[in-house]
Each structure stands twice: as C-alpha cells, then as structure tokens.
C-alpha cells in the first residue's frame, strides 16, 4: 500500500475482525473511504449488524449493503456438491467463485463512486483454506479488470494477506480497531455463543496475545 498517494477506498466489510482491521489500516491514508457489506444466503444477521456498527465507528463516507441472496455456501448446495468440496479438502463454508463475484461487485461499486481501490480483508490463513484467495489470483483479476475498463483503473488489494490471525489482531490493537464491535460467532445469538469454531478462534487469539477479551460470551 502506498502511503504517498491519497486514494479513495471501498472496503469489503464482513463484520469480522479481519475486514475491520483492513478498514482501519487503509483509512489512515485514504482521501475517501466507504464500505460494502455483501449479504448472501443465510448470512449471519449479527455479522451484518456488526459491519454497520464498525462502519459508523470508523466514520466512513457511505456504508453500502448489497443482497446477493442467490449465493450459497457449499453446505447449502446439496449432498453432491458437499461431497465434492469435502473430497478436495475445501471448507464447507466455500461459496463457489465467491471472491470473483465479491471483487467484481466491489469494483463496480467503487468505480461508479469514483473510488480507486477495493480492499479485501483476507489473512494468510484464508489463502491456505480457500482456493479463490491468493496474491496470484489478485494480480490476474486486477489485470483483467484493467483491460476491461482501461481509462480509469480500479484495483483490488488485500493488505493483510501476509499476516496470520494473531498478527492481524496485534495490528488491530495498534490501529485502535473497536474489536468489541466485531462479530466472530457462527450463530445469531444476542451475544457470542463461546463454543463454535468462530468463538473458539476468537478466544484463542485474545488468550495468546495476553490481552483482555471484552467480548461477552454465553458460555
């Protein structure tokens, strides 16, 4: 990320820790900064609420919500697809071509608003888990986008791609990200359940960093 040029950013904001950290990272040097939250089938309502709260706390120019309800995770696409995805070792939360769709929609939304960059919050662990995350994919995508609308470029960047989850949270603390507003739980309770995979990882990261976890857990 260049700290010299002041660009306009559209941050893909899920409501989780990573994308909130990406938002606080780029807004420091941004001429303009807006956020986009994409809703899909069975998308956790609490995540979308968290995204709204984080966008407000960050004082973004505009928080956009787009409903792409036709997009489903592999777990919701029937037994055959579930089995296929599992046999290739990919997580059942995989949405086929998810990032191709998210980046494309992000570029459209950024371009029509005169913004220069779309920011994705992927961390290093995402690129090991999901087949549609990675630096090579990003540069191929940006090349394609540049050739489709060559006179005013929009590019996707993923500034946290080299960082582990632990390093992302450490950065979040440095940047003053309101972690208490982020949502990691896979359930839709009033508070974090405390036992699902999302909560387990969240607790683990705070514990490893030795910092106080202000999250309210049911268990």
- Strands lying side by side in the sheet with 155-157: 63-68, 32-40, 8-12, 117-119, 155-157
Contact set with Zn ion (CB under 5 A): 185, 193, 196, 199
CA 30/CA 13 separation, integer angstroms: 16
The count of C-alpha atoms lying within 13 angstroms of the C-alpha of 163, restricted to the half-sphere facing its C-beta, is 18
Nearer to Zn ion, 108 or 186 (CB): 186
Q: What angle do CA 151, 156, 159 make, to 5 degrees?
A: 140
CB atoms within 10 A of CB 25: 23
Q: Write down the least CB distance from residue 170 to Zn ion, Å.
A: 22
73: left (phi over 0), alpha (psi -120 to 50) or beta: beta
Q: Write down the least CB distance from residue 187 to Zn ion, Å.
A: 5
Q: Write down the least CB distance from residue 201 to Zn ion, Å.
A: 10
Nearer to Zn ion, 56 or 197 (CB): 197
Q: For the packed helices 17-27 and 45-58, what is the interaxial angle rounded to 10 degrees? A: 20
Nearer to Zn ion, 16 or 106 (CB): 16
Q: Write down the least CB distance from residue 175 to Zn ion, Å.
A: 25
Q: Write down the least CB distance from residue 64 to Zn ion, Å.
A: 27
Nearer to Zn ion, 158 or 185 (CB): 185
Nearer to Zn ion, 43 or 63 (CB): 43
Nearer to Zn ion, 69 or 189 (CB): 189
14: left (phi over 0), alpha (psi -120 to 50) or beta: alpha
Distances, alpha carbon 118 to alpha carbons 99, 168, 180, in Å? 12, 19, 25
Q: Write down the least CB distance from residue 25 to Zn ion, Å.
A: 26
């Amino acid at each position: 990320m260049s700290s010299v040029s002041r660009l306009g950013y559209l941050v893909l904001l899920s409501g989780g820790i990573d994308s909130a950290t990406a938002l606080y990272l780029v807004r420091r040097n941004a001429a303009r900064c807006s956020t986009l939250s994409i809703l899909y089938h069975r998308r956790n309502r609490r995540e979308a609420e968290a995204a709204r709260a984080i966008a407000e706390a960050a004082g973004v120019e505009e928080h956009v919500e787009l409903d792409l309800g036709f997009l489903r995770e592999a777990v919701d696409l029937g037994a055959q697809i579930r089995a296929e995805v599992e046999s290739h070792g990919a997580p059942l939360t995989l949405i086929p071509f998810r990032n191709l769709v998210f980046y494309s929609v992000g570029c459209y939304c950024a371009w029509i608003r005169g913004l220069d960059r779309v920011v994705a919050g992927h961390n290093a662990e995402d690129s090991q888990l999901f087949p549609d995350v990675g630096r090579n994919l990003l540069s191929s995508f940006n090349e394609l986008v540049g050739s489709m609308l060559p006179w005013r470029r929009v590019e996707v960047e993923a500034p946290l791609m080299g960082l582990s989850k632990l390093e992302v949270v450490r950065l979040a603390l440095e940047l003053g990200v309101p972690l208490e507003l982020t949502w990691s739980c896979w359930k839709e309770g009033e508070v974090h359940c405390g036992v699902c995979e999302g909560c387990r990882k969240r607790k683990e990261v705070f514990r490893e960093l030795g910092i106080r976890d202000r999250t309210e857990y049911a268990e």
